[in-house]
Amino acid sequence: MTSQKGRDLLLKIGDGGAPETFTTIGAARAVAMTLDNAPVDSTTMDADGIQSLSPDAGVQNMQLRLDGLFKDAVAEETLRAAAFGRTACNYLLQFPNGDSYTAAFVVMDYARSGAHDGLESFSVTLRRSGAGSFTAGA
């Protein structure tokens, strides 16, 4: 597998329409996806002290983290509305190799900052709500 450019990992937010249109949130400086599988401990008394896990009985969660600069005022307003509204919105994560992942996410934390001699930046952490859909690139 060849290396992939980090700048080509894009996070987009949906408009809720049918069909849904996704808009790039911003000029990301860093995007990270974390998938966590928390299996259930199914160890029994007669397991000789050796742990046994049931992976399909546990909880899976996914978290996205984005740090960057807003693409435009519309992107900032859309993300801010999702944060203040405490609503689940559909997001699209596009990977550099053409793969994509779409799911509803809720804003866990949202921050904006700026300096007198620089551009305003933001960071957001999203947590998946429900199942998502993975599509392999062409």
Residue 62 amino acid letter? M
Q: Read off the pLDDT band of 133 (50, 70, 90).
A: very high
**In the chain, what are the domain boundaries?**
6-135
Question: Is pLDDT at 112 greater than 70 in this prediction?
Answer: yes
Question: Which pLDDT score, from 0 to 100, does residue 95 have?
Answer: 85
Q: Alpha-carbon distance 58 to 39, whole Å?
A: 4
The CATH code of the domain at 6-135 is 2.30.110
Name which residue leads in pLDDT, 70 or 135.
135
Q: Looking at residues 73-100, what average pLDDT do you find?
A: 88
Is residue 39 reached through a cis peptide bond, with omega within 30 degrees of 0 on the bond before it? no
| Cis ω for the linkage preceding 19 (within 30 of 0) | yes
| pLDDT recorded at residue 91 | 93
